[in-house]
């Protein structure tokens, strides 16, 4: 007869194998959803176990759970919420193009005909 620890280790190794097989085919959104479903299927302690297996944060797993249960929605054609992700450099620094061109404008290096 197996002990509870042996059963837990067997479950953990199965989830690890499952995630390792799926990971190359998952984008950010599906990774959140799969992680949340895995954590929910384990029950108590599932979120911590899935965090260790996948490297996903608790915030990411909660967002995945909220999306999976319908509390939070992300349009089907998007991976992140509207406005999510890194802002473009021109949004962060609107004058960056002018500044960069000003730095190289007077430089004698390279072809003087093309700054």
CA 38 to chain centre: 16
Distances (CA, A) of 91 to 50, 79, 86, 100: 35, 21, 10, 15
pTM higher than the cut 0.85: no
Q: Output the pLDDT for position 72.
A: 78
Statement: residue 101 has pLDDT above 70: yes
pLDDT, one tens digit per residue, over 2-48 is 455 556 666 788 889 888 999 899 988 889 889 998 888 888 888 89
Statement: residue 113 has pLDDT above 70: no
pLDDT, one tens digit per residue, over 38-91 is 888 888 888 898 998 899 999 989 988 898 888 877 767 766 666 666 788 888
The pair of structure tokens assigned to 56 is 């996903």
What are the CB-based long-range contacts (under 8 Å, 24+) for 70-78?
74/29, 78/29
Confidence band for 109, pLDDT divided at 50, 70 and 90: low
Buried b (16+ CB within 10 A) or exposed e, 10-33: eeeeebeeebeeeeeeeeebebbb
């Amino acid at each position: 007869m197996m002990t509870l620890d042996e059963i837990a280790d067997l479950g953990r190794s199965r989830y690890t194998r499952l995630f390792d097989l799926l990971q190359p085919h998952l984008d950010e959104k599906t990774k959140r959803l799969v992680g949340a479903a895995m954590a929910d299927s384990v029950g108590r302690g599932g979120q911590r176990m899935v965090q260790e297996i996948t490297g996903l944060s608790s915030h990411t797993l909660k967002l995945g759970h909220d999306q999976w249960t319908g509390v939070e929605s992300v349009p089907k054609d998007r991976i992140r919420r509207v406005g999510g992700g890194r802002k473009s450099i021109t949004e962060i620094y609107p004058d960056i193009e002018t500044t960069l061109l000003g730095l190289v404008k007077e430089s004698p290096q390279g072809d003087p005909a093309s700054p």
